[in-house]
Amino acid sequence: MRRAGFILALGLVMPLFAAAQVLKVELEVPLETTLGDPIPVILEVTTDASGDAAVPDQPFAPFEVLAKKVAVEPSEDGSTKTFTFEMTLQCFEVGAHQIGPIRVRLSNAEGELQYVDSDARTVEVRSVLANEPNAELKPATKPVVVEQDDYTPLVILGALFAVVLGALFAWLFMRWWQKRDRPEPEPPPPPPPWELALAELRSLDANRAAEIEDGRTEQWVDAVSDSIRNYLGRRFGFHGLESTTDEIAAALGQARALTIEPNEAIAFLGQCDLVKFAKASLAGEASRDLIAEAFALVDRTRPSNLVDAGGQP
């Protein structure tokens, strides 16, 4: 196919125009093409550095648009930039047809619009039979005997064999599956430490009055202290029941997920030790405050996105 290019250069310099300055518009199309062949169309638009160019949707009949793409290349000094629009068209009508004018939409940094039209060019679309003045169909040829092997019976037998073999394997697999050694199901995961601690504290709170009335105040306070120690150890990764108060303070000081000051937990454990070892009195109201403080300590140190369904007394 013989191809040449039409180039239209528009030196449009508009320094006082509010939209982007259009410096150059170049349109390149082939002179002729063959029916149904892709037709490359190249449109180059050069604007100032603040401008932006686009080719909006528009009719190209009798041409069909097969593909479109655009590339932007700034100049070396950064004062201008060139938009190269590459379009591939196709035509199925013989004759001379016009491409264009192609409308280009321009805008500047402020969003102001300007439209520029390229020149129109004519493309000669030729038929593949254009060089044959009296084109005729070729004469009919004699029939040719073609022999072809028929493998249909073999295909049917192979398919039946595959079905039988698959059924046999499936039956053997089912027998093995039913007789295989099945592992014992894994035990459910243990409840989180704050749920265990809250359950222990609810039980201690329910027996609080009876324990104090029977003179078992020290044993009751010791159970509350052990519940909090055990909870802190499981929650922050140390042996709470086997650690001293100083060791617990050191472990809490290194805990990243701790949402309270370590001294708050140590003060609570010290209050419990005062009742256990110093034989400090613990009246009914004081015991109620102690168990309430234990509940609050667990609630403030468990994950913030969890809510206790049972509630706190």
Omega cis (within 30) before 62: yes
Q: Phi first, then psi: give them for residue 105, nearest 5 degrees.
A: -100, 125
The residue from 105, 126, 147 where one domain ends is 126
Query: Across 20-24, 143-147, 290-294, which has the greatest mean pLDDT?
Result: 290-294
15 found inside a domain = no
Residue 80 clears pLDDT 70, i.e. is over it: yes
Rounded Cα gap, residues 277 and 270, in angstroms: 10
Q: How many domains does the chain have?
A: 2
pLDDT value at 126 more than 90: no
Beta carbons of 238 and 248 less than 8 angstroms apart? yes
Whether 178 is in a domain gets the answer no
Least confident of 126-140, 179-193, 208-222, 270-284: 126-140
Give which of 266, 274, 251 is closest to 297, Cα–Cα.
266
* pLDDT at site 218: 87
Last residue of a domain, one of 126, 141, 159: 126
- For the chain, what is the mean pLDDT? 82
Q: Which residues lie below 8 Å from residue 41, measured CB to CB, with a gap of 6+? A: 27, 28, 29, 86, 87, 88, 89, 99
In eight-state DSSP terms, residue 255 is -
Check: CB of residue 8 under 8 Å from CB of residue 118.
yes
Nearest to 235 by CA among 167, 302, 306, 307: 302
Confirm if 247 and 265 have CB atoms less than 8 A apart.
no
Asked if 120 and 197 sit in the same domain, the reply is: no
d(CA 215, CA 27): 104
The confidence score (pLDDT) of residue 133 equals: 63
Is residue 212 included in any domain, yes or no? yes
The pLDDT value recorded for residue 3 is 43
Q: Please report whether residue 139 resides in a domain.
A: no
pLDDT at 296: 92
pLDDT of residue 196: 92
Are both 197 and 121 inside the same structural domain?
no
Last residue of a domain, one of 92, 126, 160: 126
Instruction: Tell me what pLDDT residue 16 has.
Output: 35
- Per-residue pLDDT band at 279 (split at 50, 70, 90): low
The pTM for the full model equals: 0.41
Nearest to 6 by CA among 44, 36, 49: 44
- Measured between alpha carbons, how far is residue 61 from residues 6, 58, 89, 127 in Å? 20, 9, 10, 18
> Is 13 inside any structural domain?
no
User: If pLDDT is split at 50, 70 and 90, which confidence band does 50 have?
Assistant: confident
Q: What's the token pair of residue 228? A: 């909090």
Residue 92 lies in a domain: yes
274, part of any domain: yes
Is position 42 within any domain?
Answer: yes
> Tokens standing for 288?
């109620």
Q: What does the block give as tokens for 31? A: 């002179």
End-to-end CA, the chain: 92
Task: List b or e across 168-182, with b for residues whose CB sees 16 or more CB atoms inside 10 angstroms.
Answer: eeeeeeeeeeeeeee
Check whether residue 199 and residue 117 sit in a common domain.
no
The single residue listed with the structure tokens 């108060």 is 245
What's the CATH number where 86 sits? 2.60.40.10
Q: Which domain holds residue 225?
A: 193-301
Tokens of 115: 């439209």
Tokens of 102: 């192609």
